[in-house]
Amino acid sequence: MRVTMDVNFEKFHKKCEAAISKVAQSTKKATEAACRDIMFDSLKQVPRDTEALASSAFYEVKHAPDYGFEAILGYGRGGKVNPKTGVPVEDYAVVVHEDLEAVHPVGKAKFLEDPIRDFTSRKFPRTVIKHVGPALESENNE
């Protein structure tokens, strides 16, 4: 038995490039969705004595050096200053985050780390499937 197959490599190459592009954009959307979800939960946990710390929350999504996207999430950007102490938030955000002994009327330590751990253990797969899955399915249906 002999089977012959003609392959249009130019068309195949274009389809591969289109699929990679769709997956890349979907990956960016998934990363942005992850950041929004994590920050939403983090802002429920951040100590709120003056709101300065909470108002300094940020995230950014950018191309990773090798491939895909990476996110930076944190507190202490925007030049916010604690109105009670005059201390810039960037100077004390890590201390507040790490001090497990401090008692806060609202919020707690590990206000960013805990939401990140929760997201990665429970929500990460769902987020990837939600945003990247449709891009892969659309390529299979063309």
CA distance linking residue 59 with residue 38, whole number of Å: 10
pLDDT at 43: 98
pLDDT of 68: 82
Contact 111, 46 (CB under 8 A): yes
- Write down the pLDDT at residue 142: 54
Give the pLDDT of residue 112: 98
Q: What is the pLDDT of residue 6?
A: 77
At residue 81, the pLDDT reads 96
Cα separations (Å) of 138 from 15, 19, 21, 26, 67?
11, 9, 12, 12, 22
What are the pLDDT tens digits along the chain (142 aa)? 888 777 778 888 888 888 888 888 888 999 999 999 999 999 999 999 999 999 999 999 998 887 788 999 999 999 999 999 999 999 999 999 999 999 999 999 999 999 999 999 999 989 988 988 887 776 555 5
